[in-house]
Amino acid sequence: MGSEIKLESEVGKGSVFSFAVDFNNPDSNSFVNQLDSNNTKAPTPTPIAVYGSHDEVPTPAKTAPILKTETPEFEILKGKKVLIVEDNKINQMITKKILEQKEFICDVANNGEEAVAMARANEYDLILMDIHMPVMDGKRATVEIRKFNSKTPLLALTAVTLENAQDELIEIGFDDIIPKPFKMDEFFGKIQRAFSNIQII
């Protein structure tokens, strides 16, 4: 995608990896439903860069456009209320913008403790839960939420290798796992599947 990965590392403090992607490139902002009129093959979905919870995030040179796609399956999900649980401000902004383009209604919690309180006080149709957060992490927050809410679909957002985490996360109470960085088709596919399995029959 014409990008370079930059590394800054200091002994005893850690490492920062950063990159910038120009989504104004016509080849990089194609999406599954946007087909070239002369080509019937769907283009490869573009990964969305979502950083780890405590990463130092560079300021992007350009704002990446959020692409809007309309499918019959998502028409019935418009207006659904989603709680995004994420401590990274950039990730909050990206995830919220993506969902609002599909006409979801979004609230944001900055950590697991806030998420538990908000889930207790409000009715949500879906909860997207980051795993690694300060104050209370996503695993503990999910355990607490499942004590009073066993029905709301709850999806884990994680950069952890799924082979090492999937069984544990499902056992805790997650319905599915969305790996970071997001791939648009997988991101929306798992959200749609969560509603299909639980609410839409």
pLDDT tens for residues 4-26?
888 988 888 888 888 887 766 44
Q: How many CA atoms lie within 13 A of 83 on its CB side?
A: 30
CA angle (127, 132, 136) in 5-degree steps: 75
Query: Domains of the chain: which residue ranges?
Result: 72-198
> What pLDDT, on a 0 to 100 scale, did the predictor assign at position 53?
46
The CATH architecture assigned to 72-198 reads 3-Layer(aba) Sandwich (3.40)
Single pTM value for the model: 0.64
Handedness of CA 40, 1, 159, 107 (dihedral sign): negative
Tell me how far apart the alpha carbons of residues 19 and 39 are, in angstroms, rounded to a whole number. Answer: 31
> What pLDDT, on a 0 to 100 scale, did the predictor assign at position 176?
92
For the chain, residues with pLDDT lower than 70 are: 23-74, 160-164, 197-201
Tell me how far apart the alpha carbons of residues 110 and 108 are, in angstroms, rounded to a whole number. Answer: 7
The count of other CB atoms within 10 Å of the CB of residue 2 is 9
> What pLDDT, on a 0 to 100 scale, did the predictor assign at position 196?
78
> What pLDDT, on a 0 to 100 scale, did the predictor assign at position 166?
82
